[in-house]
Amino acid sequence: MLEIPREILDAVIEQAQQGFPLEVCGLMGGAGNRVASRYPMTNTDASNEHFMMDPKEQFAAVKAMRAADEEMLVIYHSHPESPARPSQEDIRLALTPNVCHLIVSLENREEPVAKAFRIAAGVVEAVDIETI
Amino acid sequence: MNLTVNGKPATIAEETPVSLTYLLEALNVEQREYVTVELNGDIMDRGDFEGTTVKDGDTVEFLYFMGGGR
């Protein structure tokens, strides 16, 4: 179970809509299974099919989380035209341990779908999202 | 040598400076080919890992590559 404040999930969906047709990405920090902060990141690939985070922004976000006594809980990105499920590339590049991967699908832009997963050693496990 | 790694104190047995490549091995960092490293506030080029030395008191941050595709 991943608890995400409604305003943070809404902001992620808004970021995805604003960034469409490109993929957008970011991080969420928090404690336990409760998200408390969001860090939108630049997709340095600026692509409709791929994302890559800016390392400088990644380091800054992690330090900010640490200063707030938070840890990285979620890596998120959007799928502008495909479902909210990890692609083979998402699975292969899920390298950071102990985080959830949240994907926002805009396959139907009128009804965005957000789903979360744990991915470890190529194994994908769905994680329920509870908005709080 | 005493270091700060990802915000926490860390000690490795070596007293003299070591390469960044060696340090990642000493810290048992897995999948090192996908790691981005910041040394004392500067992001290091992967090609410079072997030639970059880490010394007592240095601050090291490392993160895994974060990316994907549809």
ipTM: 0.91
CA B26 to chain centre: 10
**Do the Cβ atoms of A25 and A38 come closer than 8 Å?**
no
Residue A38 contacts B where some CB pair is shorter than 8 Å = no
Tell me the per-residue pLDDT of B8-19, one tens digit each, with 9 for 90 and over: 999 999 999 999
Verify whether the Cβ–Cβ distance A94 to B68 is below 8 Å: yes
Q: Tell whether the model's pLDDT for residue A70 goes beyond 90.
A: yes
Sheet of strand A123-127: strand arrangement: A123-127, A113-120, A100-105, A71-79, A25-31, A34-41, A2-4, A129-131
Q: Verify cis geometry, omega within 30 degrees of 0, for the bond prior to A21.
A: yes
**What residues in A contact B65, CB-CB < 8 Å?**
52, 93, 95
Tell me the per-residue pLDDT of B32-65, one tens digit each, with 9 for 90 and over: 999 999 999 999 998 999 999 999 999 999 999 9
Contacts 24+ apart (CB under 8 A), A45-49: A45/B67, A46/A22, A47/A22, A47/A23, A47/B69, A48/A21, A48/A22, A48/A23, A48/A80, A48/A81, A48/B70, A49/A23, A49/B69, A49/B70
CA dist., res. B48 & res. A31, Å (int): 35
Mean pLDDT rounded to a whole number for chain A: 96
CA dist., res. B14 & res. B2, Å (int): 9
Q: Tell whether the model's pLDDT for residue A1 goes beyond 80.
A: yes
**What residues in A contact B6, CB-CB < 8 Å?**
62
Verify whether the Cβ–Cβ distance B61 to A62 is below 8 Å: yes
Residue B2 contacts A where some CB pair is shorter than 8 Å = no
Q: Which residues does residue B37 pair with via DSSP β-bridges, in sequence order? A: B62
Which superfamily does B2-64 belong to? Beta-grasp domain (3.10.20.30)
Mean pLDDT of A44-67: 95
Model-wide pTM > 0.90: yes
pLDDT at residue B69, as a whole number: 82
pLDDT at residue A32, as a whole number: 96
CA triplet A12, B38, A63: central angle to 5 degrees? 45
**Do the Cβ atoms of A104 and A80 come closer than 8 Å?**
no
Domains of chain A in start order, with CATH, are 2-131 (3.40.140.10)
Verify whether the Cβ–Cβ distance B65 to A52 is below 8 Å: yes
Tell me the per-residue pLDDT of A95-126, one tens digit each, with 9 for 90 and over: 999 999 999 999 999 999 999 999 999 999 99
Q: Tell whether the model's pLDDT for residue A78 goes beyond 90.
A: yes
A130/chain B closest Cα distance in angstroms = 24
Verify whether the Cβ–Cβ distance A90 to B7 is below 8 Å: no
